[in-house]
Structure 1
Amino acid sequence: MTIDDLAALDDEEFEQYEAEVERLLAVWQVQNLRGQAAIFHDDQHLGEARRELYATRHPGANPAYTAPRAAVVDSLEGNALFHPLTTPIIEVDQTATRARGVWWSLGLEGLSKHREHPMAIISIGMVPGTHVVEDGEWRILSGVWQRTTKNEYHAGWVHSMEPTNTRPPLTPEQDRAFLGRFAYRKDEVRQAVPEPPARDTWERYPDETDDGWLYEGLP
């Protein structure tokens, strides 16, 4: 589109283009927001608060996302959690103030739960989430990393599925309800869930606190 084309637009057409540009910019801003949060997905930063990345005054804000956390290992030596985010699929609403997205995460971990030598872990997961504008800036409203597979490097995910490391340790049922909600299980056939948000996600699920869109792929 040229300058002359823009000049020929009436007010309504110009506002439509302006709104679409705002939505495109929102996609870029939400990607950067999640990228900043992913940098602190490691044992070395578990105690650092990143409140500036999260919505804190929204009625649906979860206080647990902004509470300081303590390390869950006895020794950080050799521990590492690298979870870069890939293939974002983001849908922004018509007001450019709310966005849903899903990222794949292909991770490498060096994990020692106590003081043993770290295990080499291959971890594949997804980061689904909802984002809102608060005080003029995009913030994370909900959504944390969800495990698809997490296994010792040489064992393979069919025979080795490591649970989320917590203090005290989680039971299998607790782990399944936490970050293992969408995890692989060898006794069932599964497609990748959560599915990315559909183009009509905001028409079908207009409430940003409604997480029903995450579970459409589940049996």
Structure 2
Amino acid sequence: MSKRIQAKYKINRRLGVNLWGRAKSPVNKREGGPGQHGQRRRKPTDYGTQLQAKQKLKGYYGNIGERAFRKLYEEAVRRKGDSGENLIGLLERRLDAVVYRLKFAITPFAARQLVSHGHVKVNGKRVNIASYQVSDNDVIELTSKAKQMAVVLEAQASGERDVPDYFDHDQAGAKGTFLRAPKLADVPYPVQMEPNLVIEFYSR
């Protein structure tokens, strides 16, 4: 589990963006980097721009570890088609990302915790691996116990975001079907993501 669960908004402050589009983000109240005086803004280098793009994408999905993120990059490059689009598709197939998209959890961190604690089933079987890659037409649902959890009910009632159209969503039954891997334009990111720069970062 990520070490950033208790300090997830530090990621927002460091990157200077409201990464998850949440009203509680400190970026909404204060611009600039962390620290008493913030950080001086300098013109970013190509490397800095690419690194920023990587950190945003990693952070958005619950601050995925570097080794795991590099493996996703390698798989994205290995596959046919646009590597940046492939990377987005692989990230959106992660089980914790799917749980977050289906509004079973209020944040990606909470989604990862639901999965790791065994509260999520894929095609009727419990899966507790957050990085598990969901396939097209897989049915994802919560256990009976999880459906009654306060954090789950809060997430489902939240109006902060909607379930994207690459899911068939049954809110009342707390289940959903993953229809297809989305393209970048299909994913409802609150901030601009640039997977092409991430590919460039790793391929240097």
Fold conserved (TM > 0.5)? no
Query: Which protein is bigger by CA-based radius of gyration?
Result: 1
Structure 2 length as normaliser, TM-score? 0.29
Higher relative contact order (CA 8 A, sep 6+): 2
What is the TM-score with the length of structure 1 in the denominator?
A: 0.28
Which one has the bigger strand percentage?
Answer: 1
